[in-house]
Amino acid sequence: MLVKGTTRVCGVMADPVAHSLSPVLHNYMAEQMGIDFIYVPFRVDVRRVEEVLKGAYEMNLLGMNATVPHKQAILPYLKEIDRGAADIGAVNTLVRMEGGYKGYNTDLPGIKRALADAGVTQFAGREAVVVGAGGAARAVVYLLAREGMSRIWLLNRTLARAEEMAGHVNGIFGEGLVVPLRTDCWRQIPAGKYLVIQATSVGMYPCVEEAPVEDPAFYRLIDVAMDIIYTPAKTKFMKYAMEAGAEAYNGLRMLLYQGVEAFELWTGQTVPAEVSEGAYCLMERMLEQ
């Protein structure tokens, strides 16, 4: 790709950042669509976020993605926050506006589109289990609540974190919707078949032999399983779910679609399906290496 004086610059701020697939994704989309745009990785110390955002604005950066550990840390330094992102309490995409950056959360449409690809489009009246109460789980739980699920069982190692998130989401959507439980109390979930979304970092490379729950009985609760981790491509959680007869998907499509949504916010252009599929195949190949 030819970088010119007119080229608009975006990037991802993270720490660490070397593992990020976002540069591959965005530069591929820009090249395929002929957009004068480049996307670079920035390793940013979370204690320096304020200066980094001021510097990025002064250097005319069009936008940024923010990931671990910045998604909540950047909130005080934004000019404006999109309503959905403010409700979730986490931002992963910054878009340049007059005087600063506006924050969005594209993890939410990302997980929604990934679920749709897995055939999950009906939420109203159904129940789900979410494992994890970190930054990514916030978008997942908010999406399921917004789409009308009747109950969301929220499991987390640290109960206080699940309780905090449940309090926040129930405050918006209604008491009792999100039920927080310590992960090892999962037997309190009534027997049935659930959409189960794994949103902890347990099982992520290099700890590939770990799963958030080891008991095979837990996996018999699953109808459709989605692990938002994408390294490895098949996590221990997914293996257990498949052994129990469930469909299981990894987080690569969520990663793809949160990036597509961010790219569209920055460029104002719709990413054609063949371009996003090409990007998906490229990322899949890179993960296999």
Size of the site for ligand NDP (CB under 6 A): 26
Considering only the stretches 45-53, 96-104, 225-233, 274-282, report the one whose residues sit in contact with ligand NDP under the rule CB under 6 A.
225-233
Q: Which of 25, 29, 44, 107 binds ligand NDP (CB under 6 A)?
A: 107
Identity of the residue, 57 or 237, whose beta carbon is nearer to ligand NDP in the bound complex: 237
Rounded Cα gap, residues 233 and 280, in angstroms: 13
Minimum CB distance to ligand NDP, residue 69 (Å):
7
Residue 115 in the binding site for ligand NDP (CB under 6 A): no
Minimum CB distance to ligand NDP, residue 285 (Å):
17
**Which one of the listed residues 54, 71, 102, 239 is annotated catalytic?**
71
DSSP alpha helix (H) spans, 122-194: 135-146, 159-173
Q: Could you tell me whether strands 178-182 and 194-198 are parallel, antiparallel, or unpaired per DSSP bridges? A: unpaired
Distances in Å between the Cα of 72 and the Cα atoms of 15, 253, 264 are 14, 23, 22
Write out the binding residues for ligand NDP, residues 258-287 only, by CB under 6 A: 258
Q: Is 84 left (phi over 0), alpha (psi -120 to 50) or beta?
A: alpha
Q: One symbol per residue from 134 to 163: x for binding ligand NDP (CB under 6 A), - otherwise; what is it?
A: xxxx------------------xxx--x--
Q: One symbol per residue from 5 to 44: x for binding ligand NDP (CB under 6 A), - otherwise; what is it?
A: ----------------------------------------
Closest CA to 228 of 145, 134, 127: 134
Considering only the stretches 1-9, 55-63, 80-88, 223-231, report the one whose residues sit in contact with ligand NDP under the rule CB under 6 A.
223-231
Considering only the stretches 80-88, 171-179, 193-201, 272-280, report the one whose residues sit in contact with ligand NDP under the rule CB under 6 A.
193-201
Identity of the residue, 23 or 134, whose beta carbon is nearer to ligand NDP in the bound complex: 134
Q: Which of 228, 241, 246, 271 binds ligand NDP (CB under 6 A)?
A: 228
Q: Does the annotation mark 54 as catalytic?
A: no
Residue 251 in the binding site for ligand NDP (CB under 6 A): yes
Closest CA to 22 of 33, 32, 30, 11: 11
Closest CA to 215 of 245, 242, 184: 184
Closest CA to 251 of 222, 277, 280: 280
Q: Is 30 left (phi over 0), alpha (psi -120 to 50) or beta?
A: alpha
Token pair listed for 107: 């993890």
Residue 159 neighbours by CB under 8 Å, 6+ apart: 180, 181, 182
Residue 200 in the binding site for ligand NDP (CB under 6 A): yes
Q: Give the residue at shortest CB distance from ligand NDP.
A: 134
The DSSP 8-state label assigned to residue 36 in this structure reads S
Give the catalytic positions in this structure: 71
Interface residues with ligand NDP (CB under 6 A) are: 68, 107, 110, 132-137, 156-158, 161, 199-202, 204, 212, 228-230, 251, 254-255, 258
